[in-house]
Amino acid sequence: MNITTEQLFDDARTHNAWLDRPVPDELLHRLYDLMKWGPTSANCCPARILFVKTPEAKARLVPCMSEGNQAKTAAAPVTAIIGMDMHFYEKLPQLFPHNPEARSWFEGKPEVIHSTAFRNSSLQGGYFIMAARALGLDCGPMSGFDAPRVDAEFWLGTAVKTNFICNLGYGDPSQLFPRSPRLAFEQACRIV
């Protein structure tokens, strides 16, 4: 499918106000079917995603958000909770079939599990945002929420922990703030 770099990077903005235009479930399936191809270490794919769409589920999520994130989360057609499965290594026999040892690189090693799950589910969060934009959706990623409360409300009985939360929909460009500056190449990069 043809897209542009402007659509993903230069012209894409974080949105806080949403047009009254629904996001069909089919688009959420297409979003996952793009983002899933992004690379993770040992193909561990730790990200788990809850697409919160119904008024009932939204009503459980909104009070978990920090005050400044409540109204926009209530208004967004979909809010994705991007979690990380702390038992991701149990799926390695399916995901990394050519090395039956892979599971043992993680099992019983909480620090390696945590850093691998956190790094790779965040990488997948980056793929998620790019895939959403590729499909014409706008994103509003947030890290201001009560994480233990979201975990208890949405991931109870699983080994999944919330990483970040991202509103999805069609943003209202008239409500955008002026764009914040970025670091110059020389501030962020060096070629050696």
Which residues in 6-25 contact a copy of itself (CB under 8 A)? 6, 8-10, 12, 14, 25
Q: Report residue 42 CA to chain centroid gap.
A: 20
Cβ distance to a copy of itself smaller for residue 75 or 125: 125
Task: State how far the Cα of 182 lies from the Cα of 188, in Å rounded to an integer.
Answer: 10
Using CB under 8 A, pick the residue from 95, 103, 149, 170 that binds a copy of itself. 95
- Minimum distance from residue 2 beta carbon to a copy of itself (Å): 6
Using CB under 8 A, pick the residue from 106, 127, 168, 171 that binds a copy of itself. 127
CB 62 within 8 A of CB 81: no
> Six-digit token pair at 86?
């702390």
Binding mask 161-190 for a copy of itself (x = CB under 8 A): --xx------------x--xxxx-x-xxxx
Q: Are strands 78-85 and 138-142 parallel, antiparallel or unpaired?
A: unpaired
Q: How many CB atoms lie within 10 A of CB 32?
A: 14
Using CB under 8 A, pick the residue from 119, 149, 159, 170 that binds a copy of itself. 119
E strands within 53-181? 78-85, 138-142, 160-169
Asked if 159 is part of the footprint of a copy of itself (rule: CB under 8 A), the reply reads no
Using CB under 8 A, pick the residue from 22, 63, 100, 126 that binds a copy of itself. 126
